[in-house]
Structure 1
Amino acid sequence: MPPPDPSADPGGGAAGSPAADADPPVVRARSARDLLAAVPHLLGYRPRESLVVVCVTDRQVVGLVARVGLDDLRGGSSGREGRGAVDRLVAAARRVGTAEIVAAVHTARDARTARRLVGPALAELALVGDVDPWLVAPEGYRGLDCTDPACCPPHGHPPADLEHRAVNAALALTGRAVASSADDAYRLPRVDDARRSRAARAATRAARAREAVREAPAAGAGATPRDHAARSRASGYDLWCDLVRHAARDLELGPGESAPTDLPPARLGRFAVALDDVAVRDAVLLSVIPGGDEPARRTVAGRDAPDEDAAGRAEVEVATARAIARVVDPRVAVLPDPGTAAAAQVVLEQLVAHVPRRWHAAPLTLLGLLAWWQGDGGLAAHRVAAAAEADPAYRLAALLDGVLAAAVPPGWVRAMPRGTGAGADGGRVG
């Protein structure tokens, strides 16, 4: 079983591509066993009862790392759900220009059962690129189809062989932590009841004040409910900017000196109510895109502009479209700024940790979008599913869920020349 000799580039950068501007670290994988060892680092957790495929492009870089649950491949009595998972997996592999595939079946089941479950998926993947299948079990790992005891002992090679390879140390130095499970990797931070109570009280007060303004009749030449709404949106966006600056300072100080959990609970509660306004949510989204602050501020200021200001609203829409294009359009796409994305993620995660569930849909959807933009389709799918549980009718979550189900990568991935790496888990495939 001669192994391939790919170079794993989890950052997905190529000279002259948008991703190259971020100067991602390059980690070399010298064999299929190196790629097997790298899987937990690339996913962020140790997969269980899963088929994990590592797609290597014709330029010998990792184009996609994707996981599908073995039970998802079975898909029930009709098999339709399993077929859909396989179709999405194959489509994602084709999209990145796959030449070789290392397919790892992580399971405690016997090899025969594992082979039966993944057989149809491996057959379809073989139409995309050369497939090298492996079985990774608790007692050891081996080639899934290997019958040569000199090559693969009956109980496999010892697990420590994967744990102590040079590629693991190199990936650890890039900051890629490994959780024991997907639930651990995706778990949001927790805060104590006192902080949650303060945030909830602030949110309740803000919601009551908003309703009081909405119900107040317009009186004479004074401020109208529309004026109050415009000021409230601007104030909400200012609050977001303050919270992001606070989180950015904490992140710069590093662990032990300060902590992002120091974000004021009352301000998080007020912001949760502000974020419930679609204009504020859209402004928050725009604010994390390079060059998006101006259209963000015009979005919160112009949502209730009078009819005669149609030209001004059109300018806002054009500016917004240009900003969003930097996320989705391969012709002008950019990578997220790491510092901005990290600070925004802290604020949104703390928001979910502090406020009641009725306010979770917006921040969870934005967290999902941030994860997708950064190439982490698994995390994105987890956050979007949680948003849908909080509010099944939340439209932006449904839209993003469709993007993930189709395994559509962000614009900066599609901007790369065919065969350039896209990093780990660029879309949800199962």
Structure 2
Amino acid sequence: MTAPDHLKITGPEDILGFIPHSLGYWPANSLVAMTMQGKRLGATLRVDLPDASRCRGPGLAAFALTVRDYLEADDAADGTLLAFFTGRSVEAVAEDAAEDAAGDATDSAEGELGADSAVDSALDPAVLARLLRELERTLGRAGLPVRDAWLVGERYWRNAFCLDPSCCAPPGRPIEEIRNSRLNAELVFRGSSVGAAPGRSTPAALQEQGEPAVLEAEEGWARDFSGRWRDRAQFGAVLDVWERVFDAGGHRSARATKASQAGEAALPAGLAGYLRASLRVAAWRDAVLVMAAAGRDAAEAGAEEFGMFDGGPGNPAALPELDALPAAESAGAPGEAGPAGATAAETPGYGDVLLGLAPPAPDWGRLAELDRVLRQLGNCGGGEARAAALTARGWIEWCRGRGSFADALFTAAGAEQPGYRLAELLAELGRRGTLCGWARRREAAWQKFDPDAA
């Protein structure tokens, strides 16, 4: 995610206060690196702090190079800000710092940082100093010099470079300065919130016992879909229904969506069952993702390219009750083919869309609506439909550049349906450090904060 241009930053408290809103949670035991484009904030990267055993020699160099490789995806970046979010008690680290200052005479810079930091840290202060110096060297050589860096603990924070006790005296400045910063207050006013770290609690979807009426409808639709998985008319009907759902969400303003999300009325049981049953067909699931991001033409052309259709009965199953939803502006009759002449050569392929390589920018509004609907569908019950919903939500988070949330959702999908293939493939992308193509470019990257929000 990139920072919006309209947010005004007046000091380090604002920068550090922006980070939890950007990530969606308050990080712990993490390095957060933010690129700079002149005086403007660029992309945000969070990685786990390395173990102390990796903070010497080749391990330390490899960690710094990995951070560099990620940050170089921001082609317009000309500098970097670093924040070390740590996780030990202030008292324990203050004692360690004093011991390091007295006992480590091999590196004066490490000793100075260790003696003065007194910030709660899972890493030894001298180790943090080595890590900072290696990042400075590596990023400086790459044309991304570190402009500033901070240590953020559980109760205190401080500048990592300031050694003057008159302005940076141990144990540091109260963490409340970050939580109560002007920018943090503005973001809360705009509707942003900071939740639990991904994976720290059982996802709500996994806590639900299911809704019997929805699950009964789902099984009924699954029986109706049997034998129609490769039927062009049925494929078109499924996309029609999903488009109606997307369009219904598009009629709500962003502010109304934020205000009503917690208490939003559930989808009708028959419709929810239909959508869940459609997600159990892998080709339809993928088409829904592609349609949300790149439009219906891409979904239909890609299906043709893959040779998905083999004729079939030619008559789609009956539709769920849709009277409560506004009519879709672009949808034809149920099962009707897409625009004439649409070919795979004229529209992005499934692979390009799923990797964020095309179109130039996705329809973030529709992806947000898809995420909202998938959350509801996952909460209705378990099984393959829930695994599909969790995986699709993970893909959306990956597209947004929020790898930690994506990985937590892929893990939850695997727990719900062991061996769920799409979740495994997408999780592997994350483990390899692959970034979504849209997240690499500022003009295409997801913006969490609505520029028109008051």
- Output the TM-score relative to the length of structure 1: 0.72
The structural deviation recorded for 1:28 is 2.4
Match of 1:428 in 2: none
Matched, 1:305 2:310: yes
- 1:16-415 residue pairs with structure 2 within 5 A? 24-57=4-37, 59-70=38-49, 73-74=51-52, 87-96=65-74, 97=77, 99-109=79-89, 110=93, 112=97, 113-116=123-126, 118-119=128-129, 121-126=131-136, 127-128=138-139, 129-130=145-146, 132-144=148-160, 146-182=162-198, 187-188=203-204, 193=209, 196-210=211-225, 213-214=226-227, 229-249=231-251, 254=257, 255=259, 259-290=263-294, 292-297=295-300, 303-305=308-310, 316-319=343-346, 321=348, 325=352, 328=355, 333-338=360-365, 340-415=366-441
State which drifts further: 73-82 or 376-385.
Answer: 73-82
Contact 1:361 1:394 in 2 (8 A): yes
* Higher helix residue share: 1
Number of paired residues? 380
Give 3-state SS (helix, strand or coil) of 1:55's partner: strand
Instruction: Provide closer, same or farther for how the CA distance between residues 329 and 299 of structure 1 changes in structure 2, counting only shifts above 3 A.
Output: closer
Give 3-state SS (helix, strand or coil) of 1:360's partner: helix
The structural deviation recorded for 1:393 is 3.4
The 1-side partners of 2:12 and 2:445 are apart by: 17
The 2-side partners of 1:361 and 1:257 are apart by: 22
Amino acid in the other structure paired with 2:195: A
The structural deviation recorded for 1:246 is 4.0
Amino acid in the other structure paired with 1:91: D
Match of 1:5 in 2: none
The structural deviation recorded for 1:47 is 1.9
Instruction: Provide closer, same or farther for how the CA distance between residues 422 and 303 of structure 1 changes in structure 2, counting only shifts above 3 A.
Output: closer
The structural deviation recorded for 1:327 is 7.0
Instruction: Provide closer, same or farther for how the CA distance between residues 325 and 230 of structure 1 changes in structure 2, counting only shifts above 3 A.
Output: closer
The structural deviation recorded for 1:141 is 1.3
User: Root-mean-square deviation (CA), in Å?
Assistant: 4.2
Contact 2:42 2:442 in 1 (8 A): no
Contact 2:383 2:417 in 1 (8 A): no
Amino acid in the other structure paired with 1:151: C
Q: What runs of 5+ residues in structure 2 fail to find an aligned partner? A: 98-122, 140-144, 312-338, 449-454
State which drifts further: 329-338 or 375-384.
Answer: 329-338
State which drifts further: 244-253 or 354-363.
Answer: 244-253
Q: What runs of 5+ residues in structure 1 fail to find an aligned partner? A: 1-9, 13-23, 215-224, 307-311, 425-430
The structural deviation recorded for 1:346 is 1.0
Give 3-state SS (helix, strand or coil) of 2:70's partner: helix
Give 3-state SS (helix, strand or coil) of 1:233's partner: helix
Amino acid in the other structure paired with 2:310: A
Instruction: Provide closer, same or farther for how the CA distance between residues 284 and 102 of structure 1 changes in structure 2, counting only shifts above 3 A.
Output: same
Contact 1:75 1:83 in 2 (8 A): no
The structural deviation recorded for 1:92 is 0.8
